Chains A and B, each alone.
Chain A
């Protein structure tokens, strides 16, 4: 399917949800405004000209990835709550470099956002040669990142091959 058609369908679904009125007047207003937006900026959501089964599979994989991410966020917050409420505040801040093998832009974005959301780590920068500079609040979370589980899951979502060579 052409990307403009898919963009129009997405926009119109959103219109229906947000307006909540299903009479002819409001629906036709929705069709007109969605058409205008699609004509002007129909090339923003999808990069390729055609929407293929590949996109659908990535979407489904991403939805499967979300429960695991939510679980990790919960762990992150419990760990952080422990650090905050502990009287001595046992933090060991450090900055580490993590060499990633992800290639697509979108998977780098998802990986960076996931790093920020999960245990005590913030992505500070991504350098030209694909190194994530990550600020860690304690040694434990840095070790967790080095196991590379999250990177593998992100790679699986976007169908990338990142076999560890070393």
Chain B
């Protein structure tokens, strides 16, 4: 039983750390990438996976602490948050990109970067 608890703790820590790592790379990408569209590339993806991993870590933590019907409902609610992020994040990224395209921001190309 104690082994299972150690294992679950390990899973939680790994999930949280991976989530933080992907948030970190997303933020770093936002700062380092050269132009508007590339910056969006970094945030649109890193945020999605980071948030999903951290929320999964929270799910495992809740179920580990107290495995009952009430916590099962909480788990379902968190899964709905994940579902929402999964749909809202790419849509928002697309909306921002489309707005940038419509207002005439020209994307950088490889040739521009070489100069």
B residues 71-114 near A (Cβ < 8 Å) are 73, 76-77, 80, 87, 89-91, 93-94, 97-98, 101, 107-110, 113
A84 and B25 form a contact (CB under 8 A): yes
Asked whether A60 is an interface residue with its Cβ less than 8 Å from the other chain, the reply is no
Q: How far is the CB of B93 from chain A (nearest CB, A)?
A: 5
The interface residues of chain A lying within 8 Å CB-to-CB of B108 are: 93
The interface residues of chain A lying within 8 Å CB-to-CB of B44 are: 116-117, 122
Query: Out of A73, A83, A135, which one reaches B48, CB within 8 Å?
Result: A73
Query: Out of A18, A123, A137, which one reaches B94, CB within 8 Å?
Result: A123
Query: Out of B42, B49, B70, B77, which one reaches A84, CB within 8 Å?
Result: B42
The interface residues of chain B lying within 8 Å CB-to-CB of A94 are: 109-110
Contact count A vs B, C-beta below 8 Å:
99
A116 and B101 form a contact (CB under 8 A): no
The interface residues of chain B lying within 8 Å CB-to-CB of A93 are: 35, 37-38, 107-110, 113
B29 and A84 form a contact (CB under 8 A): yes
A residues 132-154 near B (Cβ < 8 Å) are 133, 135, 137
0/1 interface trace, chain A 79-117, chain B, CB 8 Å (1 if under): 011011100010111110000000000000000110011
Ranked nearest first, the 3 interchain pairs of A and B with the lowest CB-CB distance are A116-B90, A81-B25, A84-B29
